Structure 1
Amino acid sequence: MARQGFVPYLLGSAFHRLAFVEFGNPAAAAVLCIHGLTRNGRDFDPLAESLADRFHVICPDLPGRGQSDWLPDSALYQPGSYVIALGHLLAWLNKPVVWIGTSLGGICGMMMAATPGAPITRLVLNDIGPSIPASALSRIRDYMTTTPEYFAKHADVERYLRRVHAPFGPLTDAQWAHLAYYSARRLDGGGLALHYDPAIATPIIASTPMTADLSPIWQQIRVPVLAIRGESSDLLTEETFAAMEADGATGLTIADTGHAPALMDAPTIGVIRDFLESGRQ
């Protein structure tokens, strides 16, 4: 069962709260699961519940998402700020962790794993790598500019998620309903909105999409890596994925999936579990 928690972190001249849910025994080996751009930590519930018998699984909401505080300046919604917040969470945990990161969560994981002294022992990168095509970043920017501001009911949220997140893969009705429930926040005047600060889109909309080269960060990573790719992903290309495998990463391609695999199906969870267990031997 999920347990809600918060840690404070200092960003700029103020403290903010980073929310998380945790599963399993706090004395067990830690697994930290970090979500993508517009998502939240509850995306990992099926994975966390499957791992909780052997691991302490912690799933935070990045700043501005879910139960975490919104930031006072949209310019703060950048990976560097997220790494600062997550660094406070790592300090609070005070033990080695396996990092599982989807998309933006994987970028933060690469940044953290490349930092000397980081307590990361293994890294699972879900549909993210050291090169991100400009075309994929342009698609994300366009998607962020057309996000609805209002939904009448959860069924409308679910319908929207099924459309924009169809690349997550062939999820069950129960899994889509789960995502919709935790993706919505109630508005004061009635109705629902997506469960994040709309200002997270401001830096993205203001940017000019260019191919992102994270190879200097990637080359500093010295821990074992499991790289997961959606078969039709436009963000993690086949070429970049193959280069990651050539550099020593263990590769897993998920069929009938794009950006980014939801990590909710039993076969994928099994591969992740095996990767985690191999680090305990």
Structure 2
Amino acid sequence: MSYREATYRAGDGLALYFRDYAAAHDALTPVLCLPGLTRNSKDFEGIAAHLAKTRRVIAPDLRGRGRSAYDPNYKNYAIPVEIADVFALMAAERLERVIIIGTSRGGLIASGMAVMRPAAVAGIVLNDIGPELAPEGIARILGYAGRIAEPESWEDAVRLVKSLNAPMFALDEAGWMRFARSTFRDERGRPRLDYDTRIGDAIREAAAAGEAGGADPWAVFKAMAPTPTLVVRGENSDLLSPGILARMHEARPDLKSVEVKARGHAPFLDEEEAIDAIDAFLGGIDRA
């Protein structure tokens, strides 16, 4: 599906990229798709094309990712800065109220936004993320972020993506190639990392300091209780455990959730279970 490519300026002047999927009729609440730590707007191609049949969908590349500018100060790769960036995007595009689909770190950004400006967030889909992160998943992410050697070919890229994700994902060869293509960018036929490797330094420093976006994540999760929330969990996720999800339901009895089979961290959101759950969730917000 076609989309408009554009940039806007963050508060500090950094040029940030986004994709804008325009719907034929945009009377419904638009959707804002926020990617994971080292990911970008490419991750939402499937769900964006589906949702854009009936509503506008915007998917940005956060600073230092994809086609957005890299920050000369890596310490700005922090959730409070990224929250400000997304609010700047909403202002630039005159978006008063949105539904946010946030994958991993994107979900943490969405949660912070809902607490800071609840009137601006009509609902949130948390894709494989919660207010608590399983230690094994954190260890895996801290181990690879910014430390992956760039593959020599796309075949090598597939092998690398498999080595990091094969135990959690059941994919055919075409699926693994799509995964690789969404992970790396193509530069004259060769795969290249599609993010600033200093993001890895930023999150490792934050983890060592015991930081979590500047606020207690469980307090944030409880504070966003007025915001309708759907959790999508990968069956094999090593970051959002069944126990953490159960505690989320205890804290928020109105919370909705769905599990996607044969997926780890994080589901692609083009799976039938995910699409059906998201459609139903968005429909409920539209009718409210």
TM-score, normalised to structure 1's length? 0.89
SS at match of 2:267: coil
Query: 1:3 Cα shift?
Result: 2.0
More displaced stretch, 46-55 vs 126-135:
126-135
More displaced stretch, 173-182 vs 222-231:
173-182
Q: Which stretches in structure 2 are left out of the alignment for 5+ residues?
A: none
> Would you say 1:96 and 2:97 are equivalent positions?
yes
Are the counterparts in 2 of residues 228 and 251 from structure 1 also a CA contact under 8 Å? yes
Residue 228 (structure 1) aligns with: 232
Are the counterparts in 2 of residues 5 and 19 from structure 1 also a CA contact under 8 Å? yes
Task: From the superposition, tell whether residues 47 and 6 of structure 1 become closer, same or farther in structure 2 (CA, over 3 Å).
Answer: same
More displaced stretch, 243-252 vs 162-171:
162-171
Over residues 216-264 of structure 1, what are the superposed CA-to-partner deviations in whole Å (9 max), with x where a residue is unaligned? 1111111110011122322212222112223121011122222211212
Are the counterparts in 1 of residues 168 and 236 from structure 2 also a CA contact under 8 Å? no
Are the counterparts in 2 of residues 233 and 257 from structure 1 also a CA contact under 8 Å? yes
What is the percent sequence identity of the aligned residues?
32
Counterpart AA for 1:74? Y
> Would you say 1:21 and 2:27 are equivalent positions?
no
What is the 5 A alignment of 1:201-212? 201-206=200-205, 207-208=207-208
Are the counterparts in 2 of residues 127 and 236 from structure 1 also a CA contact under 8 Å? yes
What is the 5 A alignment of 1:115-126? 115-126=116-127
Task: From the superposition, tell whether residues 107 and 168 of structure 1 become closer, same or farther in structure 2 (CA, over 3 Å).
Answer: farther
Are the counterparts in 2 of residues 96 and 120 from structure 1 also a CA contact under 8 Å? yes
Residue 75 (structure 2) aligns with: 75
SS at match of 1:45: helix
Query: 1:266 Cα shift?
Result: 2.4
SS at match of 1:10: coil
Counterpart AA for 1:127? D
Counterpart AA for 1:23? Y
Query: 1:111 Cα shift?
Result: 0.5
Counterpart AA for 1:89? L
> Would you say 1:216 and 2:222 are equivalent positions?
no
Residue 132 (structure 2) aligns with: 131
Query: 1:182 Cα shift?
Result: 4.1
Over residues 126-171 of structure 1, what are the superposed CA-to-partner deviations in whole Å (9 max), with x where a residue is unaligned? 11111123443222111226411x2222232233223323366334
TM-score, normalised to structure 2's length? 0.87
